[in-house]
Structure 1
Amino acid sequence: MYDPTRLAALVAVAEAGSITRAADRLGYTPPALSQQLAKLEREAGTALLVRHHRGARLTEAGEVLVAHARCVLDELERARHALARLTGLTGGALRLGTFPTAGVHLLPPALSAFRRAHPDVRLSVADYDPPAGVTAVAAGEVDLALTHTYHPAEPVPVPAAVRLEPVLVEELVLVTAPGHALGSAASRLPLAELAGQPLISMAPHHQARREIEALLAEVGATPALLVPTPGYAVVCALVSAGLGVAVVPEMVARTATTPVGMRPLEGGRLRRTISVAYRAEETNPAADAFRALLRGAFGRAGRSTGG
């Protein structure tokens, strides 16, 4: 059986009239292309080319083989397009929803890998404050949405048509101003040691963080400043300026744009799970491919970023 790569090399020489010009077209060096052609001649058991000072021409056997080679290569190209159509990834669109932290730190590398694998799929990204992304998936506004839930927290109802696939679990950690006494140790901090600490409180009425804020209040952390919505970049900037301490997801702490100290909390009780929401009964090859890419990029669901 003839190697398709060598058949393509022979066709290129027939069209270019020269091994050098064919090598340029195919991205080979002339010696490398000559080696491929020599192997093809050994497979054929006869000379396929006659070299001359102006280039190369086909022998009679070469003419016969080139005619069949073009048919073979055309069929292989048709097969490639048929398989691509079968996967549904030769075109179409993938609409994604995200929340700010994931949009900045998780989504870009995943989308970059997806674009390299499926360059013909049109991509769009929209911001949704969880759990609004789940609602957008249920309504058909987006195909997938990155969302999050906190623990402890009351379960948030999920529309019947939507499933949540966990992507990443991360602990919540304490952030402090640089040099703060609580942020200078590497050991896990007992929650009880937050008693009396000025806490930058992140919206105790906000559904996602309500139970977290209640637990911090129970151990005696003193609300010193209220941020009405969990805008973590602002919270870290306020912490960095010495206005209080805060409890934020580890990813937020590690990627803060202002200098902060970070310390893990004892027990690992406070966590955030990042999930991808999708419509369970809908066949969407692009969405399925992106979900598979997320699984590969961030490991098995449930893996924590905490130490």
Structure 2
Amino acid sequence: MYDPTRLAALVAVAEAGSITRAAERLGYTTPALSQQVAKLEREAGATLLVRSHRGARLTDAGELLVVRARRVLDELEQARHELARLAGLSGGTLRLGTFQTAGIQLLPQVLSAFRRAHPDVELAVANYEPPDGVSAVAAGEVDLALTHTYEPAAPAPLPASVALEPVLVEELVLVTAPGHALAGGTARLSLDRLAGQPLISMAPGHPSRAGVEAALARAGATPSVLVETPGYALVCALVSAGLGVAVVPEMVGRTAVTPVGVRQLEPGDLRRTISVAHRTDQAAPAADAFRALLRGAFGRAAQRN
């Protein structure tokens, strides 16, 4: 039985007139596509292409196989569409909510995989600062929402129709200006070393940060600047300018636009869990498919050590 990927490679070469141009169209390297064609020739037991400095042309055997290959590929594509319709994954719109960090760092690769698998489903993305995304799912404004919770924190009640599925658990880390005295070394920094340090503080009254801010206060960190609304890009910029230190999710510290030093803390029990909020009371094939892709991409990272 012929491999459909190799049949598609042969059709692409026939249409492009050269292996190099076909490779560019398919996103292969030229040697990789040549290998696919060579394997197909071994499967067919015949030479399918004649290569020259002008490109590549089909042999009689190649012409015959391309005609059949187009029919096979058309049938497979039709089957994909029919299966998608059967599963409820043809047409319609998947509405996603996200917050800024997840929207930049996590969402794009999963959206790309979803689009490749289900190109007929339209995508809509809206920004919700946690925990507003959970409310948006409960209200039917979006099908799924990426949200987050922090530890330590009191658990927030969930609407009866909504569940949270953890996607990624990350530690909170210390960020400092480059060259800061606490930035040196690779060992974890004891939380009590923050005593007396000026702190760029995320609004202590914000529900998701209240427990973390309380832990920092107990350690003796002194609020220097209060950022009244959640905005880690601003926090890191203020830290980089030398206005204080801050404790932020590791993903934020490692990808900060402004230069900062990053150091892990001891004990490592300050955490942020990123979850996907979804409805539990209605069938949603597109949302289920997207959640499966999230599990595939980040499932291991969601398991705590």
TM-score by length of 1: 0.77
CA apart distance, 1:117: 1.6
For the 8 Å contact 2:189–2:266, the answer to whether it is kept is yes
Letter aligned with residue 287 of structure 2: A
Equivalents in 2 of 1:153, 1:21: separation in Å?
58
Equivalents in 2 of 1:247, 1:4: separation in Å?
52
CA apart distance, 1:24: 2.6
Equivalents in 2 of 1:242, 1:88: separation in Å?
53
| Secondary structure at 1:206 match in 2 | coil
- Alignment correspondent of 1:152: 152
For the 8 Å contact 1:147–1:276, the answer to whether it is kept is yes
Structure 1 residues 133-188: Cα deviation after superposition (integer angstroms, max 9, x where no partner): 00000111000000000000011111110010000000000000000011111111
TM-score by length of 2: 0.77
Worse-superposed segment, 187-196 or 294-303:
294-303
Letter aligned with residue 140 of structure 1: G
Q: Does 1:264 align with 2:254?
A: no
- Alignment correspondent of 2:14: 24
Worse-superposed segment, 83-92 or 135-144:
83-92
- In structure 1, runs of 5+ residues without a counterpart are 10-19, 41-54, 57-61
- Alignment correspondent of 2:165: 165
- In structure 2, runs of 5+ residues without a counterpart are 20-36, 47-58
For the 8 Å contact 1:166–1:301, the answer to whether it is kept is no
| Secondary structure at 2:235 match in 1 | helix
Letter aligned with residue 239 of structure 1: V
Letter aligned with residue 293 of structure 2: L
Letter aligned with residue 164 of structure 2: L
CA apart distance, 1:219: 1.3
- Alignment correspondent of 2:216: 216
- Alignment correspondent of 1:181: 181
Worse-superposed segment, 222-231 or 73-82:
73-82
Change (3 A) 1:84 1:245: same
CA apart distance, 1:84: 2.1
- Alignment correspondent of 2:50: none
Change (3 A) 1:22 1:126: closer
CA apart distance, 1:303: 3.2
Q: Does 1:244 align with 2:259?
A: no
Equivalents in 2 of 1:172, 1:252: separation in Å?
9
Letter aligned with residue 216 of structure 1: L
Aligned-residue RMSD, C-alpha: 3.4
Identity among equivalent positions (%) equals: 69
- Alignment correspondent of 1:89: 89
Structure 1 residues 104-154: Cα deviation after superposition (integer angstroms, max 9, x where no partner): 111111111211221111001000010100000011100000000000001
Equivalents in 2 of 1:219, 1:38: separation in Å?
72
Q: Does 1:204 align with 2:204?
A: yes
Letter aligned with residue 280 of structure 1: T
- Alignment correspondent of 2:106: 106
For the 8 Å contact 2:84–2:118, the answer to whether it is kept is no
| Secondary structure at 2:182 match in 1 | helix
CA apart distance, 1:90: 2.2
Residues matched between the structures, number: 269
